[in-house]
Structure 1
Amino acid sequence: MKQRTWLSLLLACVLLLVASACGASGQNGGSAPGKQETAGEGEQPAKLRDVQLMLDWSANTNHTGLYAAKELGYYEEEGLNVQIVQPGSGGTDAMVASGNVPFGISYQEGVTLARTQGLPLVSIAAIIQHNTSGFAAPKDRGIQKASDFEGKSYGGWGSPIEEAVMKSIMEIDGADVNKVNIVNIGDADYFTAVKRDIDFAWIYYAWTGIEAQLRGEPLDMIYVKDYSEQLDYYTPVIVTNEKLIADDPELVKAFMRATSKGYQYAIDHPEDAAALLSKAVPDLDAELVLESQKWLSPRYQDDSPRWGEQKAEVWSGYADWMFERKLLEKELDAERAFTNEFLPDK
């Protein structure tokens, strides 16, 4: 569950310019969304509308609510046949913004960058209320605060935002990011990299941190949100595009009604939800899925009045942080980057 690479974001934007010429294929076809009608005797069941949802990475517990909604028939109840697909080489953001895929999983960082480049990506739900990512190191490295990064080797994926975040939190501790040896390890596995090349890396605790526990390899975790409210951004989020919202809001509402039910199920029944994910994606380590789910389920909604709700100050706060550090070409219109319109009432 690595962060999206900066290079893939830029590539996605380039590919989008080509893909956009294809129009919004695939998002308006099929029957209209709505409750599936019961077929009478001798009649065929009402046809479900085919809808694709593209993930951000390989399936994990960030996505459990999606699989729960599919496995428990919540999407079918809304007249939808949802196919959950892996991201393509062009990137999920590009595919969703162009309308080639109606829904996807992204990050606040990706949506922010896309919108400041004029791409019509919109976040319609925060999967997790608070940022569960941060810098992790094996306990024997003695990295317990940001100032401890000095003199150590960091393994990353080559994004300018990594150094900007490290610099930001290290300065709070009175430390110098220039004293960190930054190594590009690409997609290398965290556990292999810390044994071979590096001292610490940026991870999502719900997956890699839980895996470390199960491996008996304890780590120290420095959550970026603990250093700055501006770094407590939404990751991941569910996205669609402006055209679909304008042309077919009922599809978005139907999709989100079912998705919200799926995440509520995962909140209320973490062990059963973990079993659903393991059944749907049998290649996953079932023990890791279970322990990750038990850790993550209470954090989906956390202190929010309902699952998925987003706040304007979270969007503007992180965008301001990015703009101040020259990670954005222009300021973000935060109010247009997200909407709570399609979340069902509690």
Structure 2
Amino acid sequence: MPGYTDVKETQRWPRGISAYFRRTAFGRNSIKNGTMMNHNAVVPLSVAMGFAILTSVGCSSRTSQPSKTEDGLDKVSLMLNWYPEAEHGGFYAAREHGIFEKYGLSVEIVAGGPNAPVAQELVTGRVQFAVGNADDVLLFNQQSANVVALMAPIQDTPRCILVREDSGVMSLDGLAGLTLQANEGRPFVDYMRSEGLLDNVNVVPYSGTVTGLVTDKSVAIQAYSFSEPLVAQQEGVATRKLMLAQAGFNPYASCLIATRSYLDEQDDVAERMTKACIEGWQQYLQDAEKSNRAILADNQHGMTLEALEFGATDLRGLCLPGEMDIKQVGKMSARRWQELVKQFQDLDLVDKSMKAEDVFDASFITSTSADTSAETAAETVVE
């Protein structure tokens, strides 16, 4: 069975603290021994208050020179936004294939999970780098955690709406009359509603399983393209993925992120880390086998090689959409970030004062690694 799907959110949090927790606090269900395990991540108020206090006194992490290994490598930590899985494959490839060492780094990969405190760990300096989706980055900054994305391996979001192949639904504007299991309060749901895609759609809370879809062709569910489709396939049901990216909601995914203060003080380490991760993703997209076995060893929550192989195959199209060359892995454009910021402002998820240049830094993505296109390079410059 594949790895994980989104866990049901039990409530819509107030704007003040909901943004940070939408992705990191509410994790995903895991599938273990063929059974969906519901990790209901109820965030204690003390945790939320702790983060609010942290942001109120300023979120600049205190950095110092990284410690060294006996071999002279700089020691840093990379925190994942969930349990290790295919969407982290390139980071594992950098570790397993000696790419981090090539750049003078010794990187500890720290698994996330339900309630993974990614922003807190970054702003307090307990980890130097982390993985987060572009929408996370905006929401973290909305809560005064001044983090920036350094590279974006997954160009097209894996977020999709999954329907049965025999439902007759071919696109997101054809959902009328269906029941959609999706979590209200998620940015993608807000976006779909604003675009009229949920008109005459019965939206109900996501159950955390594909059961409704399997038993009733009038049911659609929120999904990740490299997860739920395999579950349904193993249940004998053919499905169709309706990708949110095709409807205009397309945050980068699995971005390498760090705090602005860390970049200011450790730009050399950040540059080497960015380049190493880009090369790691290039490696993973060409040969995932060794990295997948390492992920499987680090994931004790029901992950399988079949799911990782399925994920790696699906990710290739998401990381290299269209005619994109593998040398461009990790690229980011100011236009994409500006569009996302504008969408979130229109949805009242972030302040009108937020700017794209506040949330990403493409200066470490060089022509020798991730970008050989003059046109794309120009896009990374914020006007």
For the pair 1:250 / 2:268, whether they are aligned, the reply is yes
Q: Compared with structure 1, are the counterparts of its residues 10 and 278 closer, same or farther at alpha carbon in structure 2 (3 Å cutoff)?
A: closer
User: Which sits farther off after the overlay, 214-223 or 55-64?
Assistant: 214-223
CA distance in 1, matches of 2:137, 2:163: 29
Consecutive unaligned residues in structure 2, runs of 5 or more: 26-47, 370-383
Could you report, residue by residue, the CA deviation over 1:181-215 in whole angstroms, capped at 9, with x for unpaired residues? 22223xx4332353579812222212322443454
For the pair 1:296 / 2:296, whether they are aligned, the reply is no
Q: Identify the residue that residue 182 of structure 1 maps to in structure 2.
A: 203
The Cα shift of 1:338 comes to 0.6
Contact 1:320 1:331 (C-alpha < 8 Å) held by counterparts: no
For the pair 1:262 / 2:280, whether they are aligned, the reply is yes
CA distance in 1, matches of 2:117, 2:205: 20
The Cα shift of 1:132 comes to 2.8
For the pair 1:31 / 2:53, whether they are aligned, the reply is no
Q: Identify the residue that residue 257 of structure 2 maps to in structure 1.
A: 239
2:82 pairs with one of 46, 50, 57: 57
The Cα shift of 1:154 comes to 1.8
Which residue type is aligned with residue 239 of structure 1? I
Consecutive unaligned residues in structure 1, runs of 5 or more: 37-44, 172-176
1:138 pairs with one of 164, 167, 182: 164
CA distance in 1, matches of 2:280, 2:261: 25
Q: Identify the residue that residue 348 of structure 2 maps to in structure 1.
A: 326
Q: Identify the residue that residue 274 of structure 1 maps to in structure 2.
A: 292
Larger helix fraction of residues? 1
The Cα shift of 1:87 comes to 2.8
CA distance in 2, matches of 1:226, 1:54: 30
CA distance in 2, matches of 1:335, 1:2: 32
For the pair 1:71 / 2:93, whether they are aligned, the reply is no
Identity of aligned residues (%): 20
Contact 2:285 2:312 (C-alpha < 8 Å) held by counterparts: no
For the pair 1:191 / 2:210, whether they are aligned, the reply is yes
The Cα shift of 1:63 comes to 0.5
Pairwise CA RMSD of aligned residues? 3.1
User: Which sits farther off after the overlay, 148-157 or 127-136?
Assistant: 148-157
The Cα shift of 1:29 comes to 5.5
For the pair 1:91 / 2:91, whether they are aligned, the reply is no
The Cα shift of 1:65 comes to 0.8
Q: Compared with structure 1, are the counterparts of its residues 215 and 196 closer, same or farther at alpha carbon in structure 2 (3 Å cutoff)?
A: closer
Which residue type is aligned with residue 24 of structure 1? S
Q: Identify the residue that residue 237 of structure 2 maps to in structure 1.
A: 217
Contact 1:275 1:290 (C-alpha < 8 Å) held by counterparts: no
The Cα shift of 1:9 comes to 3.5
For the pair 1:115 / 2:141, whether they are aligned, the reply is yes
Which residue type is aligned with residue 182 of structure 1? V
SS of equivalent residue, structure 1 residue 206? coil
Which residue type is aligned with residue 308 of structure 1? G
The total of aligned residue pairs comes to 325
The Cα shift of 1:92 comes to 1.4
Could you report, residue by residue, the CA deviation over 1:265-284 in whole angstroms, capped at 9, with x for unpaired residues? 11222445434433554652
The Cα shift of 1:19 comes to 4.0
Contact 1:154 1:182 (C-alpha < 8 Å) held by counterparts: yes
User: Which sits farther off after the overlay, 320-329 or 260-269?
Assistant: 320-329
Which residue type is aligned with residue 46 of structure 1? D
The Cα shift of 1:309 comes to 0.9
SS of equivalent residue, structure 2 residue 227? helix
Contact 1:9 1:91 (C-alpha < 8 Å) held by counterparts: no
In the superposition, the TM-score normalised over structure 1's length comes to 0.81
The Cα shift of 1:165 comes to 2.4
1:308 pairs with one of 326, 330, 340: 330
Which residue type is aligned with residue 226 of structure 1? Q
Contact 1:116 1:331 (C-alpha < 8 Å) held by counterparts: no
The Cα shift of 1:167 comes to 2.1
Note the 1:155-170 alignment, pairs <5 A: 155-170=181-196
Q: Identify the residue that residue 342 of structure 1 maps to in structure 2.
A: 364
SS of equivalent residue, structure 1 residue 217? coil
Q: Compared with structure 1, are the counterparts of its residues 179 and 103 closer, same or farther at alpha carbon in structure 2 (3 Å cutoff)?
A: same
CA distance in 1, matches of 2:180, 2:295: 32
Which residue type is aligned with residue 82 of structure 1? V
For the pair 1:18 / 2:18, whether they are aligned, the reply is no
1:105 pairs with one of 120, 131, 135: 131
1:204 pairs with one of 219, 224, 230: 224
Q: Identify the residue that residue 41 of structure 1 maps to in structure 2.
A: none
CA distance in 1, matches of 2:313, 2:261: 37
Contact 1:122 1:239 (C-alpha < 8 Å) held by counterparts: yes
